[in-house]
Chain A
Amino acid sequence: KAGVTQTPRYLIKTRGQQVTLSCSPISGHRSVSWYQQTPGQGLQFLFEYFSETQRNKGNFPGRFSGRQFSNSRSEMNVSTLELGDSALYLCASSFYPAGERATEAFFGQGTRLTVV
């Protein structure tokens, strides 16, 4: 059974550009959550999607957005990139949405975004 797949693994962008990251969850999982990880801040929750609907959103500016498709694949987009957006972006998939039932969340390998 394939794990969570994130593409691309590495990305270098210039300030002001936008970027789209992709996440394919484990087959059968309908919940996808996105996190930003930086050395000083740890894992910061961005948003969660379940069955194409955003269920939760973290405390990030509107430049960060996401969506989920009918096959449960999810994308997140960051517009007008800033230097501080440089981070490892992780997605996690689970069978049930967060908080509804005891469930395990499995992470992808992440996308390392560098903004220059």
Chain B
Amino acid sequence: GQQLNQSPQSMFIQEGEDVSMNCTSSSIFNTWLWYKQDPGEGPVLLIALYKAGELTSNGRLTAQFGITRKDSFLNISASIPSDVGIYFCAGSPLSGNTPLVFGKGTRLSVIA
């Protein structure tokens, strides 16, 4: 089946630092979604991307849909303690009738 490679698996950063994480796929996707999940809760949608090359921001978060349609990245600027959590990427494959594919997540820890 299709897989997404999400990296890094975990990050420890100082408060105020910028963060970058990315996802790559072996196949072409027509949608990229980025989620954040807090412990014991469901993932919350942060950013949705629909076009190759698209760059979208949501507050301190910025995500881009790669030109090749096989990758996406998420940046968080000036991290704060509440950014702690697990970030997931998800992609919708180009072929129809196929469920979303999820990365295994990036666990972010912010040191105050």
Contacts and interface: CB of A to CB of B under 8 A. Distances in A.
Answer whether A and B are interacting partners.
yes
B74 interface: no
A102 interface: yes
A67 B104 CA distance: 27
Contacts, number: 65
Nearest to A97: B97
A70 to B, nearest CB: 22
Contacts of B105: 42
A106 B100 contact: no
Given A99-B93, A104-B33, A105-B90, A48 B99 contact: yes
What class of interface size applies to chain B in its complex with A?
A: 20 to 34
A112 B95 contact: no
B97 A110 contact: no
Contacts of A108: 42
Of the candidates B31, B40, B90, B92, the one having the most CB atoms from chain A within 10 angstroms of its own CB is B92
Of the candidates B98, B100, B105, the one having the most CB atoms from chain A within 10 angstroms of its own CB is B100
Interface string A87-110: 010101000011110111111111
B5 to A, nearest CB: 12
Contact of B92 (A4, A48, A55, A98): A98
19 contacts: A33-B99, A42-B103, A55-B97, A56-B97, A56-B99, A98-B98, A98-B100, A99-B92, A99-B93, A99-B99, A100-B96, A102-B30, A102-B31, A105-B90, A106-B45, A107-B44, A107-B45, A109-B42, A110-B41
Interface of B: 30-31, 33, 35, 40-45, 48, 50, 88, 90, 92-93, 95-100, 102-105
